[in-house]
Chains A and B, each alone.
Chain A
Amino acid sequence: MSFLQDSWLVGTSSGVFTAGEGGCERLGSYRFLVAAIHRTGERVLAATGSGLWEVTNGRWIQRHDETLTEVMDVVDEGDRMIAASAYGVALGRTEASQATRWDWLSDDLPVNQRFTNTILKLDDDRILAGAEAGAAIHGAESGWQVTSLQNTAVRCLVRWNDRILAGADNGVWWSENGQDWHHSWQGAPVFGLAAAAGCLLTGTEDGVMLSADAEQWRPAGLAGMRIGAVGVSRTDPDHWYAGGAPGGLWKTGDQGQTWVGIPEVNVGVAAITAPGEES
């Protein structure tokens, strides 16, 4: 495992930090909004306010072009990247020259369907996009199809067991196929989701919520704080991070009974990924 694969990564309104037992430190000199971090076995991609970057220990490598900016989320397929942005969804391929060029899938959609906060790959042909107007599925052949999750902004998506969970402005929703959605928890806007074995976390407008089955939810601390992102350890499900937006980075080792603030990250937090977590 590389340093990048072995660390907690925290995307903030002012760049990326690594977090761990040894403390937190800034990673690289990029100091602008990092909305999402996608980690695969091969590389780390940062979805940022100024485009898409490949994060390395040294120089950050530009993966956007002059058409891609305000990136909210990204899926890395190796030879192809899928970006969710304020301007819609785009497919990127890196050419032999090292230039990455982007083809846009949603230019013809209405404004609120275009603004895409989050994205999830459903299968080889289809992607699920969480937009301001709701969730929609894009297939290579079928184009865009709206799902039953509509009229609420969808801000985060995660797989958990055989379900897909969506965080929306009216709580948490679940679906087995991405098309048909059911309310899991009706409540405050949800900005972050994290899943591990037997543990589902949400970051909401009013603190962290926890569920073991995606049906029953209970508060898990940081009430009164808008939580922009949450993360749960793959090896220790009691070990979580949560980020206030605003409010900075916090951690707990006892499933949210006590939280400790991390003063090194005192800016708004938008993304957290745990070591070994592949989006």
Chain B
Amino acid sequence: MNDCDTLEQRRRVILDDMAPKASSMFGAHALFATSDEEAAERTEKIVTTSLGQQSDSPFALAQMGCFDTFGAMFLLCRWQDEMTAHTRDHIRQVMTGNTHGRGNTENHWLMHYTAQLLAAELYTDVDIWWNGLPREVFLAEATRWILGTIDRTARIGHHEYDSTDYHGWHVLPMIALADHAADATVRQRAGDMATLLIADMALEYFRGCWSGGHAREGYRENTWTHIGSASALMYLYFGGPLLGPLQTQQAMGPALAARYEPPAILCAIANDRSRPRVVRKTKAARNIYRHVEDDARPVRKTTFTSRSFALGTTQTGLPGPPAGPIDLVSWDLTWEGPKHEAKIVSCHPYVDPGRFSAFLSELPQDIGRSVPAAKPYLQFADRLFGASPYEQMMQHESAAIILYRIPADDQHPYVNLYLPRSTTWRQDGDFLFGDTGQFHVMIRLIGESRWDSVKDADFVNGWFVRLRGDDVGLVIEASEKDAHGSLDEFASSFDPDVVDVSDWTDRHQIGYRTLSGDRLQMTYDGDHLVNGKAIDYDGWQLYDAPEARAALNSGVVHFEHEGESLTLDFGVDPDREMIPMRVIG
């Protein structure tokens, strides 16, 4: 079961697993794809009991939300000939008659407009749509937004970028449109965008994990090996070990039954560990409503992937406090291993009511309670997710400097550094040296530290090194094990003065000489230098990697690997004004 070489084999394994327990409109694809004898009847029950049913519980208020309408339309478009007439009629009634919510995030709008486009193309005999508009008018609106958001993403990068939790909710709508849209342009562009989104995973894929920074990580899940919808898609498209239920989750069922398949070059890129790779990406800025003077700057990602580990960091582009997205994860070190045992990450557990109302339009006076009332973990002091405006970092290949300057009156004046329990640790003063069994890692702590233990159900389970104080941070570098032999030999590679903290107090500057002899110098709120030369973040391309190249605003992305190549051309007019992005990305 764990050694499926082909996409078709993996597809079959998951479908067979999913079909008997299918209970959602997404899982129902497995019923038809496996030719379940009761597929039509079971699907009718699923659809008629879950779609368009309004109950009084708070969660059910979104019963006609975008997940439902999208799930229904994808299911209908794919299997309508095999559904019962009652199922088809129910979906039609709901899609043309009920009130539908558009949601407030990028994936919500994408699902909403995808469902509406597919429905408006299908029900051509309906003159007036559920929202009182002529069908053609709303079809035009949905088409404009979908093509507009594809255009934006191809030019300046994805807003809700590289989200382990939500990436699937971007990929699936693109697949639905590629397979089922009647409009040829929409079909073509959506297919290419599905490929680009899957390439985003491939470039930072590491043996079942998605390494580095993410706009949105699963809440309390960023010490997990497999997280969110992305883990299912990565298993399906890239292979690797099948380890957990997230990889066979019903939510991603439509991908299993889709006609769309990503080009094989992406699977080859994802699995090529033959040489180290540096991937640089630009992603779009997140929309910020208020509490800051300036808009967010573009996001610049760096991910270094070696044979046994991957290190990824982010220039988050945040314009300062209180803008700190609740589920952004800025950096991590990733390797292959069980849950909680193959991640190193740090976080300042920043808390401020303003960080909610910077991104949501509710009253600032209210939102500090209303949002975490439903999700109290968003305020946990032991948090490892949620961006801090007081965190900055730089990276050069397998080394990174992560610095924090936390105001003295901050509610949580410390940084949580997460370390797996199963790694062998050695401490020499401010230096920690780790043997993960596959590679070595050095961490130089900056600031007073204290070891602690953290366990929150099955969400987090490991060591915390709390870095206490206003000005703290760490320098981290990983190295393949065969480069240095034992942990002691690895540790002896570092002179005590390899990290220069002499200017930290006065100039907020840290220097570091890497194992390969490169000199890094980072100034908080200042330059990031490699061998005396500033990293040119302003010159960052959309994609810059050995296997992927794209200039900003070009809309042309070129992939190359082992003699194979692929070019995606989104037909961008660089002078054309982009549609405004009015959602939380």
The yes or no answer to B102 lying at the interface (CB within 8 A) is yes
| Contact (Cβ within 8 A) A67 B361 | no
| Contact (Cβ within 8 A) A31 B132 | no
The yes or no answer to A37 lying at the interface (CB within 8 A) is no
The yes or no answer to B321 lying at the interface (CB within 8 A) is no
Say what secondary structure dominates the interface of chain B.
loop
Q: Per-position contact with B for A52-73: 1 when CB-CB < 8 Å, else 0?
A: 0010100111100111111010
**Interface window among B6-14, B134-142, B340-348:** B134-142
Chain B residues within 8 Å of A72, by CB = 361
Question: Shortest CB–CB separation between residue A203 and chain B, in angstroms?
Answer: 12
The yes or no answer to A191 lying at the interface (CB within 8 A) is yes
The yes or no answer to A107 lying at the interface (CB within 8 A) is yes
The yes or no answer to B292 lying at the interface (CB within 8 A) is yes
The yes or no answer to A39 lying at the interface (CB within 8 A) is no
The yes or no answer to A197 lying at the interface (CB within 8 A) is no
Q: Per-position contact with A for B357-377: 1 when CB-CB < 8 Å, else 0?
A: 000011111100010000000
A87 to B104, CA, bound (A): 13
A51 to B293, CA, bound (A): 25
Question: Shortest CB–CB separation between residue A191 and chain B, in angstroms?
Answer: 7
The yes or no answer to B126 lying at the interface (CB within 8 A) is no
The yes or no answer to B288 lying at the interface (CB within 8 A) is yes
Chain A residues 172-210 with CB under 8 Å of chain B are 189, 191, 205
**Interface window among B254-262, B301-309, B395-403, B576-584:** B576-584
Chain A residues within 8 Å of B136, by CB = 97
| Contact (Cβ within 8 A) A65 B290 | no
| Contact (Cβ within 8 A) A99 B293 | no
Interface centre among B142, B289, B291 (most CB of A within 10 A): B289
**Complex: chain B residue closest to A32, CB-CB:** B101
| Contact (Cβ within 8 A) A99 B137 | yes
Question: Shortest CB–CB separation between residue B64 and chain A, in angstroms?
Answer: 8
A87 to B288, CA, bound (A): 9
The yes or no answer to B133 lying at the interface (CB within 8 A) is yes
Given A54-B132, A62-B132, A66-B145, is A28 in contact with B137 using a C-beta cutoff of 8 Å? no
| Contact (Cβ within 8 A) A104 B580 | yes
The yes or no answer to B99 lying at the interface (CB within 8 A) is yes
**Interface window among A109-117, A136-144, A212-220:** A109-117
Tier of interface size on chain A: 35 or more
The yes or no answer to B482 lying at the interface (CB within 8 A) is no
The yes or no answer to B463 lying at the interface (CB within 8 A) is no
Given A67-B579, A69-B582, A99-B141, is A112 in contact with B134 using a C-beta cutoff of 8 Å? no
A68 to B580, CA, bound (A): 10
The yes or no answer to A40 lying at the interface (CB within 8 A) is no
Set B101, B137, B361: member contacting A98, Cβ < 8 A: B137
Chain A residues 63-109 with CB under 8 Å of chain B are 65-70, 72, 86-87, 97-99, 104, 107
Question: Shortest CB–CB separation between residue A93 and chain B, in angstroms?
Answer: 14
Chain A residues within 8 Å of B132, by CB = 54, 56, 59-62, 98
The yes or no answer to A226 lying at the interface (CB within 8 A) is yes
| Contact (Cβ within 8 A) A29 B361 | no
Set B101, B145, B289, B294: member contacting A50, Cβ < 8 A: B101
A97 to B145, CA, bound (A): 18
Set A14, A87, A97, A153: member contacting B134, Cβ < 8 A: A97
The yes or no answer to A245 lying at the interface (CB within 8 A) is yes
A185 to B491, CA, bound (A): 67
A29 to B64, CA, bound (A): 10
Tier of interface size on chain B: 35 or more
Chain B residues within 8 Å of A50, by CB = 101-104
Chain B residues within 8 Å of A32, by CB = 61, 101
A42 to B128, CA, bound (A): 22
Chain A residues within 8 Å of B362, by CB = 33
The yes or no answer to B185 lying at the interface (CB within 8 A) is no
| Contact (Cβ within 8 A) B61 A110 | no
Chain A residues within 8 Å of B276, by CB = none
| Contact (Cβ within 8 A) A49 B104 | yes
The yes or no answer to B130 lying at the interface (CB within 8 A) is yes
Set B103, B142, B580: member contacting A107, Cβ < 8 A: B580
The yes or no answer to B53 lying at the interface (CB within 8 A) is no
A132 to B288, CA, bound (A): 13
Given A66-B579, A111-B290, is A28 in contact with B99 using a C-beta cutoff of 8 Å? yes
**Complex: chain A residue closest to B583, CB-CB:** A69
Chain B residues 82-111 with CB under 8 Å of chain A are 98-99, 101-104
| Contact (Cβ within 8 A) A86 B134 | no
Q: Per-position contact with B for A228-266: 1 when CB-CB < 8 Å, else 0?
A: 100000000000000001100000000000000000000
Given A54-B132, A86-B289, A87-B580, is A69 in contact with B104 using a C-beta cutoff of 8 Å? yes
A104 to B293, CA, bound (A): 19
Extra pairs beyond A30-B99, A72-B361 (4, CB < 8 Å)? A61-B132, A66-B141, A111-B292, A132-B290
Q: What are the 9 tightest A-B residue pairs by CB atom distance, in nearest-first order?
A: A61-B132, A62-B131, A66-B145, A86-B361, A115-B290, A132-B290, A70-B361, A99-B137, A29-B99
Q: Can you pick out 30 interface pairs between chain A and chain B where the beta carbons lie within 8 Å of each other? A: A29-B98, A32-B101, A59-B130, A61-B133, A62-B131, A66-B113, A66-B142, A66-B148, A66-B579, A67-B582, A68-B582, A69-B102, A70-B582, A86-B290, A86-B361, A97-B136, A98-B132, A99-B133, A99-B137, A99-B141, A107-B580, A111-B289, A111-B291, A112-B292, A132-B290, A191-B363, A226-B365, A226-B366, A245-B366, A246-B366
